Amino acid sequence: EQPSRSLTMKISTVASALLTGTTLHGTAGFLPSPQAGHRAFGVLMSSTESREGVKTLNATDLASNQLVNVLSDPGFQGPIHEAEDNVSGSMMLSLDHEPIVPFGGSAPPPKTLDRNILGGKGLGLLEMTSIGIDVPPGFTLTTNLCDVYHKYGDLPSELWDATKQAIKRVESDMGRKYGDKENPLLFSCRSGAAVSMPGMMDTVLNIGLNSETVEGLAKTTGNARFAWDAFRRLLDMYGQVVLEIPHHAFEDRLKAIKAEAGVVDDVDLNVKQFQKLTEEYKKVYTEHKVIFPEDPYEQLFSCVKAVFGSWNSERAIKYREINNIHTFIGTAANIQTMVFGNMGDNSGTGVAFSRDPGTGENKLYGEYLINAQGEDVVAGIRTPEPISRMQQVLPDAYRQFIHNVEKLETNFKDMQDIEFTVENGKLWMLQCRSGKRTGPAALRIAIDMVNEGLCTPVEALLKIETDHIKQLLHPAFTPEALASSTYKDNVVATGLAGGPGAAVGKIVFDAKTAEERKADGENVILVRENTSPEDVGGMWAAEGVLTARGGMTSHAAVVARGWGKPCVCGCGELEIDEEAKTATIKSTGEVFKEGDVISLNGNTGDVIRIGIETSTPSIEGDMGTVLEWADKVADSCTVMANADSGPDAAKASELGARGIGLCRTEHMFFSPERLPVVRRWILRGEGLDKVQEFQRSDFREILHEMDAKPVTIRLLDPPLHEFLFPASQADEAMAMQLGFGTDVKGLKDKVESLHEENPMLGLRGCRLAIIRPELTAMQVEAILHASADLMEANPEAQPRPRIMIPLVGSVAEFENQAIKIKQVASRVQQERGLTIRYEIGTMMEVPRATLIADQIASLVDEDGERLCSFFSYGTNDLTQMTMGISRDDSGAFIPKYIAQGIYESDPFRTIDTEGVGYLIKKSAADGRLVNPSLSLSVCGEHGGDPTSIDFFDSVGLNYVSCSPFRVPVARLAAGQAAVRRISSSPPGAPTAEERVSTFASYENCAP
């Protein structure tokens, strides 16, 4: 295969050394490292480390494993002629792009617009610059540097030299100098990953202020109060983010100063009070035995490291786990000139969305604060004003803002989340990104943008997340409940409608308790003064979130909306005592304690003192429109449902399933009136005709509901003991009921005789049917008679049963059962005088079956007709048997494996493409090669997982099947998978059938 250019160079260099005996180094050598695990050489030396003991490699040292490890190490660049003082500088040389990308002002056009390199925030800043929007100039340190930082614990000294050069450009653009005592330039340092993670990583503002530059800032701006306010903010943020001083240590000092001054808000403090507060903050540093650096460059460099470090903070890791974010290497760090919204009444800051993120209405939605910095808005420190009021106090800036928003939507063709600052009347745009939105909003925005001509339906599909569809299936208050006096009379407070839907649960006051109660199976509402990123685990565990402070763009609201969780924020009627664990309604004095049940209406902001009935909405309207778009995408997987009863089939059809991909016949046996009949047949061999009666009735109902659509019915799969009881529970009543008379011992003996040590690999599936052939005959008769009943009752009826043989591991097993099915079917058709359309196939769940797929698919009967018309992959058991993991016991270690990076995801939720996926790909290709009309599908729960659907689409399977309530999500995912594949494929790319049959390289099919 074609190696990369860099690898070719490395191989050539090593080959030359082997021939000539040249000694090889890295750019400056390698050190053996115990932390490197299996790598022969690991950690690169930092600029302060001695070069003593540097490992060099010559031709005699190069064992094959060392050669491979050196070649794969990004630090290896070939021979060097002079020793360098900075080993880690090799990382800069090994990047395939510039590690520092400038934006704004005099920045040249970028060489890359790769979101994975620049992060979402960095990409947005470059895009805004390119379309003529004023952005405070700065530069982005790319995501790869975050990866370097986490691997090596530091960053190259060359990076800091390059950073100083980047700063010089900004100094020239702004006419100020970083660190200058007279006219200081200040920076912010903000995180920005490729995917939006609101509030999960760190930001530091006002970097560059110290005891001298604060005086210069006061002088040049003519506003000493503003300068000292900015300095105390830096002390607070630097202490928290870089030195990990608890926030309350600063907050307590601020509260004390405000109490002494007799004011409520920070904006009411004067310059002397801010100067005093600054001295108090410095005492916090002394108490924690840390030092605030006066050197502006030391401040900046340590802030960059802290922002990169926050990628692996507990809250960021938790957020990525919750949102299934695994494939990104880190965050970028954006160094941006500070512009100030806290310079007086002609300045301000805000956050806005180009459309309402809660409803999708094409109306500007946001908030701002006069005389404030950005963190004041998102942290909920003060409750902000609606963005519309900005028109009255800052009219020129507001007009420019509206113009910018329109340009951004036209450019990105998506709803935008925007942060801005107005400094002395001048508008600056600080960031833009695709905005987080609720499920209903996502659908409305997509449909409106298609109607407005901004994008096509196919493009609009990719703006909707599968989680948005899940949200629309979440509970909501019924119209009857909302109109009732029970609801209206029990509304105790109303806040801001921060997140969609309805939530009912018990009050908890901290994130840890929320997670614990959720683990115990309780529904909870997280109630907080205001949330912070540290609360993310509790917010995820809670049914809804209620805060006393913060606006509709606060952390609580943004995160809740992104997850589709009901949220009521800024509920000023609440007085929350988190220590006493109480919430008091100020106007009435009513007290709510931890454990009390309340309801939240995230659509209106209502807080209700009791539990209110909820219901699940239908898929009509906007969701129906979007799912129709998905269904119409050419060459996409069809979506079917797993259903075991008439009502299940009806629900599946209502949700858009195109058939039944798995009907589990054993689920028909467990009702109280049927179980004794089944047990009697198992233990005595009696009453099979009665079992057939209720099977026939159930099949008739399912086939009627799905008329003309395929219904895949799996013959009995589980071991017989699943229908029995422990032998110790046998008594005389059971013995009488099951035909043993008074012989309790005989009953116990019979039950014990059916015991298996490992029933999953025991007498089940086709094995059981071969040993007890009457079972197959009974089930096939029930299926065919049910079909005939429908055809006789209605000549237009078109039942389409597909009979699936489970747990096949050999050709002979399948052939035995397939011939048996054909014999029974022939007899029933003769008895009924009807020709019934049916198919026979197998559930591919035993790894051996996937290895002999061509032999199974090529089988024919004595008349030369094919015996096997479909493979349906039972990925639950196929995963268990391939990976050697019991699904029921995997919870003890798989979460830890994921946390440690051993597994990227749970293989029982998302398909293992390298192992299980390989067997699917190979067997599909082998089967289709000998049987071109072979139908291929998945009927395990992986069929409802969007990531797995991407893989199944790449393989070329015909359909996926999942539980009914996952059908809408699967429909969207199937359409999106086809759109992504088609849009990234050249003209004439292979169809589904061709993708299956071209199994030349498995790697090419992995998503």
Question: Per-residue b/e over 170-180, b at no fewer than 16 CB within 10 Å?
Answer: bbebbebbbbb
Q: Are strands 660-664 and 710-714 parallel, antiparallel or unpaired?
A: parallel
CB 486 within 8 A of CB 469: no
Q: Are strands 839-844 and 800-805 parallel, antiparallel or unpaired?
A: parallel
H runs (alpha helix) in 634-763: 646-654, 675-684, 688-705, 732-737, 744-753
3-state helix, strand, coil in the chain (%, to 5): 45, 15, 35
Q: Are strands 476-477 and 614-615 parallel, antiparallel or unpaired?
A: antiparallel
Residue with tokens 């998503």: 1007
**Angstrom distance (rounded) from CA 4 to CA 206:** 43
Q: 332: closest CA among 189, 433, 200?
A: 189
CB 406 within 8 A of CB 424: no
Write out the DSSP string of 749-787: HHHHHT--SSGGGSS-HHHHHHHSTHHHHHHHHHHHHHH
- The dihedral through the CA atoms of 317, 319, 323, 328 has a sign that is negative
* CA end-to-end span of the chain: 20
In sequence order, what are the residues at sequence separation of 6 or more whose Cβ sits closer than 8 angstroms to the Cβ of residue 368?
348, 349, 350, 351, 352, 377, 384, 385, 387, 389, 390
CB 237 within 8 A of CB 307: no
Q: 527: closest CA among 570, 565, 576?
A: 576
**Angstrom distance (rounded) from CA 106 to CA 327:** 34
Query: Does the annotation mark 555 as catalytic?
Result: yes
**Angstrom distance (rounded) from CA 351 to CA 357:** 12
CB 122 within 8 A of CB 430: no
**Angstrom distance (rounded) from CA 970 to CA 966:** 6
**Angstrom distance (rounded) from CA 351 to CA 552:** 10
CB 559 within 8 A of CB 536: yes
Question: Per-residue b/e over 547-571, b at no fewer than 16 CB within 10 Å?
Answer: bbbbbbbbbbbbbbbbbbbbbbbbb
E strand spans, 326-479: 331-337, 348-353, 365-370, 385-386, 416-423, 426-434, 476-477
Other Cβ atoms closer than 10 A to 183: 15
Query: Does the annotation mark 939 as catalytic?
Result: yes
**Angstrom distance (rounded) from CA 531 to CA 499:** 14
In sequence order, what are the residues at sequence separation of 6 or more whose Cβ sits closer than 8 angstroms to the Cβ of residue 122?
101, 103, 140, 142, 192, 332, 334
**Angstrom distance (rounded) from CA 656 to CA 967:** 7
Q: Which of 567, 637, 939, 962 is catalytic?
A: 939
CB-facing half-sphere around the CA of 147: CA atoms within 13 A: 17
Other Cβ atoms closer than 10 A to 452: 10
**Angstrom distance (rounded) from CA 651 to CA 653:** 5
Angle, CA of 624, 615 and 320, to the nearest 5°: 70
Q: Which of 25, 474, 555, 942 is catalytic?
A: 555
| Active site positions, annotated | 555, 939
